[in-house]
Amino acid sequence: NAGVMQNPRHLVRRRGQEARLRCSPMKGHSHVYWYRQLPEEGLKFMVYLQKENIIDESGMPKERFSAEFPKEGPSILRIQQVVRGDSAAYFCASSPRTAYSNQPQHFGDGTRLSIL
Amino acid sequence: DQQVKQNSPSLSVQEGRISILNCDYTNSMFDYFLWYKKYPAEGPTFLISISSIKDKNEDGRFTVFLNKSAKHLSLHIVPSQPGDSAVYFCAASGETSGSRLTFGEGTQLTVNP
């Protein structure tokens, strides 16, 4: 999975704290996607961003979660006031163009978020 | 609403034999399908894809078959190798779902030496 870089790989937070997850897409990719995987489940779409724009956030919880992909720097998934149910693996993927052009998304190794 | 389903949580095969992983979908608007392989503590790795205008796509030991009328796709791995042991996810996307991928729950493949 070299190419899409996520950090940190592991993040531990106490309930009520903030979690910030970072994702740098593959070189040349301008489309970023965030997915969440709960234990024993498949990946669930959260949000799709292009530089400086949120294109589709239909999978994002309505409260406490936000995402950005600034003109410079990595994409950030931010979770405010974390709760135990936020414990999961969060994966970022990138593609050079949208899925309309049938381009596969390539994934990073994820951030494992644990809430104490 | 589980639009992509992998009904077999696990599959065990002997090295050298064929592995067949299955996936069913319900959304008739899906038109692009992918298979990913995932090792523990790593992200999914893209294996092979197929668009709805085809019914078969082959890449080395991996072949994906698509049956649109049955809304069913399968991944064949032949010959299977111990290094193929991993969780396999099928995923789908289409015009109405935008660019997001909808994943199945995964199938744990174990290839025994």
- B110: enclosing H helix or E strand: strand B107-112
CB contact under 8 Å between A48 and B46, yes or no, is no
A52 vs B22 pLDDT, higher one:
B22
Closest by Cα among B71, B68, B64 to B89: B64
d(CA B57, CA B65): 7
* DSSP state, residue B13: E
d(CA A73, CA B7): 40
A102 burial level (CB within 10 Å; 0-12, 13-18, 19+): middle
Report residue A31 CA to chain centroid gap.
12
* Backbone phi and psi for residue A33, each to the nearest 5 degrees, phi listed first: -130, 140
Are the CB atoms for A89 and A110 separated by under 8 Å? Answer: yes
Residue window 75-94, chain A: list those with CB within 8 Å of chain B: 91, 93
Residue B1 has a pLDDT of 67
Structure tokens at B108: 């744990």
d(CA A32, CA A22): 11
d(CA A75, CA A21): 8
Three-class secondary structure of residue A8 per DSSP: coil
> Chain A residues with CB inside 8 Å of B93's CB?
99
User: How many residues are there in chain B?
Assistant: 113
* First and final C-alpha spacing in chain B: 38
Residue A80: is its pLDDT beyond 90? yes
Residue A2: is its pLDDT beyond 60? no
Residue A15: is its pLDDT beyond 70? yes
pLDDT in tens, B55-99: 999 999 999 999 999 999 999 999 999 999 999 999 999 877 677
Is residue B34 within 8 angstroms of chain A, CB to CB? yes
pLDDT in tens, B25-56: 999 999 999 999 999 989 999 999 999 999 99
Three-class secondary structure of residue B6 per DSSP: coil
CB contact under 8 Å between A45 and B43, yes or no, is no
